[in-house]
Amino acid sequence: MPDFNIIIPSKPRVIAEDEFSGVYEIEGLYPGYGHTLGNSLRRIILSSLPGFSITSLKVDGVDHEFSTIDGVKEDVINIILNLKRIKFKVTGDDSQVVKLRVKGPKTVTAGDLDLPGQVEVINKEQEIATVTDKNTELAIEMTLDKGLGYVSKDILKKDKVEVGTIAVDATFTPIRKASYEVENMRVGNRTDFNKLRLSIETDGTLTPREAMEKSIRIMIDQLKAIIGFVEEEEEIESDAVIKEGGSLYDDLEYHSAIRRPGDNSIDENILKTRIEDLDLSVRTIKALTGASIRTVSGLARKKESDLLEISGLGDKGIQEIKRALGSLGITLK
């Protein structure tokens, strides 16, 4: 009797691996699954792994990027291009400030940066500028932020209004290259099963194995989130008082928390709004989804003290949530 079960592939096997690149192989994939899995993982690796990048900087005595600095060989644009080549490895998710203050004559490199304890430079040999005059002092203050993919300076400028601050195009991804190959292999009597080989090259802030593991985890989390066709209502059903012939929202405390000011009715469509549709930062959304809070109804039922216990959600995130809910006429419980 034929077996209609799709067999499970092997765990990833290391073919070659070092600090910056790795090649991994997955065998025993059902026919066609090599391209399905390979293309999905490649896209996640290239687009969805976070990293840190310089998003803005200040140079003493400079108002804009089209300036020159007396006693410095490079103009400001070339200095910025050199700074963007520096790879930062940061512990945590918070923004960091990196400073540079040197006096010439000197060839300035990334190794001359004054770094906070959470920040490490991978390529310390990267040249930044050449100070040619002994009386010239080059002073730069840079802001590092965490993000995904590429963000243009035009978007970053919206938050950078201080005079003398120069917004910089930010490339956050720690991945330099990702590719995959699929070959046929024999499994039992069949020769059309797939062998997937993934090649990953990073900038050193993330190891290839970490990139592989994180991309797999992201795919799993995305698929788990869409199992079933109805959004779970566990937040509503667990605490609401449901009376025979009554409303799901008869709990007076909950009712008052999510009622619009001056209105005794509740717009249930608003309660079903997903938090991704609110005006929240990526970090706050990630923290809430990690705590299984996915809708406005689930969020409105939480106390401020409950939210403070969520990993990755601090006072700034709480204020962000209050503003978003306030725009809907809703307050925390």
pLDDT of residue 275: 84
Range of the domain at 116: 52-169
pLDDT of residue 231: 53
Decide if 3 is inside a domain: no
pLDDT of residue 83: 96
Instruction: Kindly tell me if the per-residue pLDDT of 292 is higher than 90.
Output: no
pLDDT of residue 159: 59
Decide if 134 is inside a domain: yes
Q: The domain spanning residue 97 has which CATH number?
A: 2.170.120.12
Instruction: Kindly tell me if the per-residue pLDDT of 176 is higher than 90.
Output: yes
Decide if 1 is inside a domain: no
Q: The domain spanning residue 297 has which CATH number?
A: 1.10.150.20
Q: What is the mean pLDDT of residues 6-14?
A: 90
pLDDT category at 230 given cuts 50, 70, 90 is low
- 69 with 210, same domain? no
The answer, yes or no, to whether the previous bond of 50 is cis (omega within 30 of 0) is: no
Higher pLDDT, 160 or 112: 112
- 101 with 154, same domain? yes
Count of the separate structural domains present in the chain:
3
pLDDT of residue 158: 62
Q: C-alpha 6: how far from its chain's center?
A: 34
CB 312 within 8 A of CB 286: yes
**What is the overall mean pLDDT for the chain?**
84
Which residue pairs from 70-74 have beta carbons closer than 8 angstroms and sit at least 24 positions apart in sequence? 70/133, 70/136, 71/104, 71/131, 71/132, 71/133, 71/135, 71/136, 72/104, 72/129, 72/130, 72/131, 72/132, 72/136, 72/138, 73/129, 73/130, 73/131, 73/132, 74/129, 74/130
Instruction: State whether the Cα torsion 58-61-66-70 is positive or negative.
Output: negative
- 77 with 145, same domain? yes
pLDDT 10s digits, 211-227: 999 999 999 988 988 88
Share of the chain above pLDDT 90, in %: 53
Decide if 238 is inside a domain: yes
CB 11 within 8 A of CB 212: no
- 41 with 183, same domain? yes
- 107 with 162, same domain? yes
pLDDT of residue 302: 84
- 45 with 180, same domain? yes
pLDDT 10s digits, 28-80: 999 999 999 999 999 999 999 999 999 999 999 998 889 999 999 999 999 99
Boundary of a domain, candidates 207, 225, 243: 225
- 248 with 218, same domain? no
Decide if 7 is inside a domain: no
Q: The domain spanning residue 21 has which CATH number?
A: 3.30.1360.10
Instruction: Kindly tell me if the per-residue pLDDT of 247 is higher than 80.
Output: no
- 275 with 318, same domain? yes
Q: Which residues have a Cβ under 8 Å from the Cβ of 269 and sit 6 or more positions away?
A: none
Q: What is the mean pLDDT of residues 307-328?
A: 84
- 60 with 154, same domain? yes
Boundary of a domain, candidates 153, 169, 185: 169
Boundary of a domain, candidates 124, 139, 169: 169
- 39 with 188, same domain? yes
pLDDT 10s digits, 122-148: 999 999 999 999 999 999 999 999 999
Decide if 2 is inside a domain: no
pLDDT 10s digits, 89-132: 999 888 999 999 999 899 999 999 999 999 999 999 999 999 99
- 105 with 200, same domain? no
pLDDT of residue 300: 83
Q: What is the mean pLDDT of residues 305-313?
A: 82
Q: Token pair of 35, please?
A: 């391209």
Nearest 5°: CA angle at 235, between 276 and 302?
A: 75
pLDDT 10s digits, 180-192: 999 999 988 889 9
- 155 with 60, same domain? yes
Q: What is the mean pLDDT of residues 254-262?
A: 44
**Looking up tokens 């730069």, which residue turns up?**
140
CB 38 within 8 A of CB 23: no
pLDDT of residue 331: 81
Decide if 301 is inside a domain: yes
Decide if 125 is inside a domain: yes
